[in-house]
Amino acid sequence: MQGGTLKIIVEDHTDNIGFPAQSSQLDYYYSSPALETLGRYDANGVMRPFLAKGWKADPKHRTITFYLRPGVKFHDGTLFDAQALKWNIQQFQAARRPEVDGIRSMDVVNRYTLRLNLQKWDNQLLESICWFVQVISPTAVKQHGVEWAKTHPVGTGPFVFASWSPDVSIVYKRNPHYWQKGKPYLDEIDLELIYDQNTAYNTFLSGAADVLTRAIPSAMKQLESSGQFKYNTTRNLSFGTAGYGLLFPSGNPADPMSNLKVREAIEYAVNKPALIKSVLQGYGVPTNQWYLPNSPFYNKDVSSFAYNPAKAKQLLKEAGYPNGFDTVIWTDPANQNMVTAVQGYLAAVGIRAKINVVDIAKLLEMTVSTAPKWKGMSIHIWPMFPDAPVLMDRDFSPHSANHAQNIIHPPKLLDLIAKARSAPDRASEAKYVREMQKVAFQDYVLFLPLYVPVGDVFMKKTVQNLGFFTRNGYDWNPESVWISR
């Protein structure tokens, strides 16, 4: 059970594995061996203590108190205590991350107790901090700087960062001083960065890697039917998968998509079921909003914008574009086939879209709030977690770190986000989120939701307890995975 090296093929791009306040959720795949969080979701979407041994939420006094596990140390030997947690949360505040919005002040009660004093009660804040704030060593960042930290994660995790060869691999070595006695079981985890999906597939098939985290649909079918590998699938998950769609620059008056009728026309122009059948070979579920029908946040009354190219052409004419217009779609290589299919649907109604392919880091850099206004559509991936109000807030509010300056911010939507975050119970919260779905995706069409893909992670039969796609679509457990002999 002890020892060995686990080689995992990952196909996305990252340039930040060590400074979470400035990272995206995709980066968490790469940083999880070294960086940990206060809590983890279980398979039912309930937040459970992890680095924190517990917490107390007090709506009456508008406080959240975290009680930390004593004696946990960062890889540099410094202590993870209340002061370190306070510093980590402050980094998220400095980055204007909505996940930590609403904190009026923080009190270090004692070495292992931190109390948050809130401006108003926010039912999302506890879970948001528990999951989004991967903790890092304040001492390491102060000594070396933020840019260094992005490529040198110093956390409390089961593995210590060893090396990073850009576009080749990220290597982690076993942490001999890990706080969970007897863990981790492995000696090393190697993340193999192979961005071409055919190369990734062939590398895995050859036996040169133990885990393949992403495959094209045709490859998934072959691997599933081969009987040679184990696999976990998102089909069995109740939450924590991701959706794919296109973001409109609705807040840029120089772009045709600042016109609501143009955005509606694009909705009608795309045949989502056909796109899923052709590009994903059926490995996906079409959607017209965030979340799917099995979620309490799904609003069955949101307009479906069923495929209707004639309606799309009429709306373009009403918007002042009877002959269509030229635009661009920004995408990363992994989603180029999907975007190419969308390009064909748009061309059929007169929208001539050029495809610009850039790596995911460039895409994120282009669309962050501090970037200049951009034109055209951008591929966008949104997560589906239990804390829906936070996720909507971090993508659609004016203080969002993600593309805030390039979209409009309907007051009604912002009001619903605020109400959802301060709702007294889950039922009230879900009601407000359902209303948010209608405002965002029907009334203002801020975004074109396309589908939620069905994903598999494949592994050799010797890989045990990997954790991918067992609790949700994002977390795994590097400290518990082992290789049988």
CA distance 146 to 143: 9
Tell me the β-bridge partners of 453: 284
Domains annotated on the chain, with CATH: 242-453 (3.10.105.10)
**255 pLDDT above the threshold of 90:** yes
Question: How high does pLDDT run on average in the chain?
Answer: 91
- Determine the pLDDT at residue 401: 67
Residue 392 and residue 400: Cα distance in Å, rounded?
A: 10
CA distances from 445 to 53, 252, 288, 453 (A): 42, 14, 10, 21
Collect all residues with Cβ–Cβ distance below 8 Å to 305 and sequence separation of at least 6. 264, 267, 268, 288
Spatial separation of the C-alpha atoms in residues 391 and 440, rounded to whole Å:
13
Q: Please report the pLDDT score of residue 6 as a whole number.
A: 97
The string of pLDDT tens digits covering residues 326-369 is: 999 999 888 899 999 999 999 999 999 999 998 877 787 777 76
pLDDT, average across residues 40-63: 91
At position 238, the amino acid (one-letter code) is S
Task: State residue 221's pLDDT score.
Answer: 87
Q: What is the pLDDT of residue 383?
A: 79
Lowest mean pLDDT among 72-86, 132-146, 267-281, 402-416: 402-416
| pLDDT band with cut points at 50, 70 and 90 for residue 382 | confident
Q: What does the pLDDT read at residue 334?
A: 81
> In the structure, what pLDDT confidence band is assigned to residue 385 with cuts at 50, 70 and 90?
confident
Q: Please report the pLDDT score of residue 28 as a whole number.
A: 85
Q: Is the pLDDT of residue 308 over 90?
A: yes
**Is the per-residue pLDDT at 245 higher than 70?**
yes
Q: Which long-range contacts (CB under 8 A, 24 or more apart) does 333-337 make?
A: 333/195, 333/196, 333/357, 333/359, 334/11, 334/12, 334/195, 334/197, 334/214, 334/360, 335/244, 335/379, 337/279
pLDDT in tens, 404-447: 778 999 999 999 999 998 887 778 889 999 999 999 999 999 99
- The predicted pLDDT at position 454 comes to 85
pLDDT at 72: 98
Question: What's the number of CA atoms in the CB half-sphere (13 Å) around residue 429?
Answer: 18
Please report the pLDDT score of residue 166 as a whole number.
86
pLDDT at residue 446, rounded to an integer? 94
The yes-or-no verdict on residue 371 having pLDDT over 90 is: no
CA-CA distances (angstroms) from residue 233 to 6, 191, 414, 472? 20, 20, 35, 10
Summarised one tens digit per residue, pLDDT across range 3-45 is: 999 999 997 778 899 999 998 777 888 999 999 999 998 877 7
- Give the pLDDT of residue 43: 74
Count helices and strands in the chain by DSSP H and E runs: 15, 21
Average pLDDT over residues 165-187: 96
CA 372 – CA 383 distance, rounded (Å): 25
The lowest-confidence range among 119-128, 129-138, 297-306, 471-480 is 471-480
Non-local CB neighbours of 448 within 8 Å, separated by 6+ positions: 245, 246, 247, 248, 263, 266, 267, 270, 377
Q: Kindly indicate the confidence band of residue 139, based on its pLDDT and cuts at 50, 70 and 90.
A: very high
Q: How many Å apart are CA 327 and CA 306, to the nearest integer? A: 23
Q: Is the pLDDT of residue 238 over 70?
A: no
Please determine, for residue 107, whether its predicted confidence score (pLDDT) is greater than 80.
yes
pLDDT at 377 over 90: yes
Closest CA to 348 of 303, 398, 309, 292: 309
285 vs 112, higher pLDDT: 112
